[in-house]
Amino acid sequence: MSTTPSTRLDTFPNPAPHRDFHIHMEIPEFTCLCPKTGQPDFATLLLDYIPEATCIELKSLKLYIWSFRDVGCFHEDVTNRILDELAAATRPRYMRLTARFYVRGGIYTTVVAEHRQEGWTPAPAVDLGAFPHQKTGTDHVF
C-alpha cells in the first residue's frame, strides 16, 4: 500500500454508463502552500461530477490531493489545475470543483470551476420535495 503522494489518477469503468448520475465527494484536508509566503493554505474541496465511461478511484484521488501539500499555488490556479487534471483523467459529462479556502488575512476565498462535455446538457431537475430534516433550495448541484 502506497503511503506517499502521487500525481497518478486511476479510474475504473462507470457501472451505469446508460444514465446520468451524480457523484459528490468532500475532501476536507486539502493543503498547499502560499506562493508568496510559503505558509500553508487549507481548504475543503467539493467535487461533483457525472461520469461518462470512467469514475475516479478514491485511493489515487487521495494520494493525488496529497501531492499538493508542498506545492506553492494560488487558490485560483490550483482549483483550475485540479479540475483540468481530473477531467482529463475521467472525461466526465460534467464536473465541478469547489475549493473553499479557510481564512487568510481576514479573507475567505471560494473558487468554483466547471467542465462540461461538448454537447452535454443536464436533464431537467425533478423536485420531489424535501424531507423535514433536509435543507430546501440549496441541494441541487446543476
Check 10, 20, 32, 41 and give the catalytic one: 41
Q: Is 55 a catalytic residue?
A: no
Q: Is 77 a catalytic residue?
A: no
Contact 20, 123 (CB under 8 A): yes
Check 20, 34, 55, 84 and give the catalytic one: 34
Chain centre distance of CA 28: 11
In this structure, the number of other CB atoms found within 10 A of the CB of residue 106 comes to 5
**Nearest 5 degrees, angle CA 32-CA 38-CA 40?**
40
Which residues are catalytic, by number? 34, 41
